[in-house]
Amino acid sequence: MISSEKKTAKPNNSLFYCALIIFILTASAFFYANRPVLASRAYNPARTCYSNLKTIEGAVELYTMENSSDINSLDDLVKNGYLKMKPVCYSRSDTKDSYSFSRPINKSNLSQFFKIVKCTNHGLYLTDKNLFEKEVDAAIEYRRERQKFFLTISAVLSILILWQLVKLWRKSSC
């Protein structure tokens, strides 16, 4: 006898697992693109330079409180133990002697610190503050470009997911 039973299609679990994996990948790319990204020091050397200047300023203040002699260079601060080593500005490849003093610093001219200590790469902080702000703007622009890139990647992945799901759905329904 001929059986008149209808063949029932088994649910395709591979379609579910494939869709789940691709969804997780797309979601992680989307969330990675939208997370707040701070301007990193690799792309913002001005921030590192300013931080170095503040460290030098603190060491100079301590030195002037404890000693009556003038400070002629960073070597004085390193030699007397106020700095472990000379701070370096990594903006350019030439990093030897990144910071210089235009004149000796003492208690009477300590308030003019940013007019005396100069970065060989960035210049004086107060006069070249515009340069520091431009580097911060460049870091923000880098972050925006990075977000655009990851959003584009997540959009392309979403389109590929939909295409593969349609393909698998058609294949499983045949």
Segment 77-97 shows an average pLDDT of 81
Determine if residue 8 is left, alpha or beta; phi over 0 gives left, psi from -120 to 50 gives alpha, anything else beta: beta
- Choice between 158 and 54, residue whose per-residue pLDDT is larger: 54
Q: 27 — phi, psi (to 5°)?
A: -65, -40
Q: Is the pLDDT of residue 131 over 70?
A: no
At residue 39, the pLDDT reads 46
Q: Is the pLDDT of residue 42 over 50?
A: no
At residue 153, the pLDDT reads 80
At residue 41, the pLDDT reads 45
**Under 8 Å between Cβ of 111 and 144:** no
Give the helix ranges, DSSP H, for the chain: 13-34, 45-66, 74-79, 113-116, 129-173
